[in-house]
Chain A
């Protein structure tokens, strides 16, 4: 079992690393992060120096700015997990993959392990780049305490890894890249934003359960409405549920 899972993981890594789109996605993520963190840092500095005292944020950590930039950057990272699955259905290689590893659960687990590991490492890189860009732009309005910044970077990497796994599971369940990205956008952003819009307590509570919002509470280290760790668990629960859904679809449907 462990032996054949190792083989499946090695195969998935070979497949992911042997297509150029993977590396373009990494590059796109880095660029979006650098641009996003730089822009958000400029906003903070401007807000503190303009004539309007209501938008003064005061001194902000580089980690905080970098975390805010993840909201956009995550979609580049999502594409990695997504394409690792949906490209197999588009090109028909899913049949080769299932010939090599007939256990549907093992195939999906291997994809989740590889996508999770790659997005975690990429997340570390993105977090580092984001903080490095944000800190000098913030100037006197910024700080970068070593322990706090490293904590933020690891948190971002963890968040992205779980969202990457979520994308793998959904991709297996939905098969189509377009459909999967729509569902991801909806669950991460559109639905919770719509729920929060009227600012009604019960709708806000519902929105808090969605993966993007839960991840946001985890990244911000919030204590309200629940501790950050609960946000992490909620997000992990979503990722696990997506994987189970994907496994059920792979088992039930003909390839």
Chain B
């Protein structure tokens, strides 16, 4: 169980996380979505006691991270897969972590086995690890203390399709075992497959905290309207807008309408005498829902996607 209460972080004049109040419940995979610079990594760092909140609290199992005696047994986290000493082997990295929390050395081999790093890969110095191997090593570190709470920041970054499928299965298994699993990602399609619950933030603010199905349903159904007469379509668009629907031109002879149904668009077109060649309903994907939710909160509009972590 992760509890955020009015969690706020300011860097000078910039508000990275803005009065975030969220409960991340055990037994399910909670996806943590947001555009670049939305405050996902900062939120996770505050949960781990790495960054100090400007205001509010982040609690794990009801306690602040800095108060935990053997934190690896309470919370496992993958933050940055590249954070390994260039000359230290993955095995030594994990062994140091294990020793700090009184975890038996044998557990290191167990987690290496779980994440599929063989003895040769685990003996390689950090600088030679690929991003994918770094991710697996980071996940191994998160699993080390067999904790009831797990956090993964962009875990599928750098993984091949097999690796992506493996992370999906792993997070599912961990949640089914009753653990709290909190996974951030900018890959919405991935979250659609992985998560049960979604926490969406933009500019540090909570935009949605609901089951995945609900977030998708909330964005409603998009109706595609195609017709041969641009003037007719314009008339139809004006009436639809007046009726409270959202209309966007999708081409010279095409409209995308949300906030209404295909039936009502068809009725209206008939009343107005507008000729249509296509009228079809499309259920929104999580991607669309996400775009709508975060439309006003994208910090770097038009910028490249991905990254956003430090």
Contacts and interface: CB of A to CB of B under 8 A. Distances in A.
Nearest to B89: A18
B71 A102 contact: yes
Count class of interface residues, chain B: 35 or more
B287 interface: no
A21 B66 contact: no
Interface stretch (A3-11, A36-44, A71-79, A169-177): A3-11
Given A15-B88, A15-B96, A95 B102 contact: no
Nearest to B52: A254
A4 B69 contact: yes
Given A10-B100, A91-B126, A99-B77, A15 B50 contact: no
B60 to A, nearest CB: 11
Interface of B: 45, 48-52, 65-72, 75, 77, 79-80, 82-89, 92-93, 95-97, 99-102, 126, 141
Interface of A: 3-4, 7-8, 10-12, 14-15, 18-21, 87-88, 91-93, 95-103, 254-255
Nearest to A8: B100
B51 A255 contact: yes
B50 A99 contact: yes
A242 to B, nearest CB: 23
16 contacts: A4-B70, A11-B96, A11-B99, A14-B95, A18-B92, A21-B87, A87-B85, A88-B85, A91-B85, A91-B86, A93-B84, A98-B50, A99-B75, A99-B77, A99-B79, A100-B100
B50 A96 contact: no
Given A11-B100, A18-B96, A99 B126 contact: no
B258 to A, nearest CB: 41
B83 A91 contact: yes
B100 A92 contact: no
Contact of B88 (A8, A19, A99): A19
Contact of B45 (A10, A96, A254): A254
B79 A95 contact: yes
Contacts of B65: 102
Contacts of B51: 254-255
B133 to A, nearest CB: 16
Nearest to B48: A99
Contacts of B95: 14, 18
Contacts of B87: 19-21
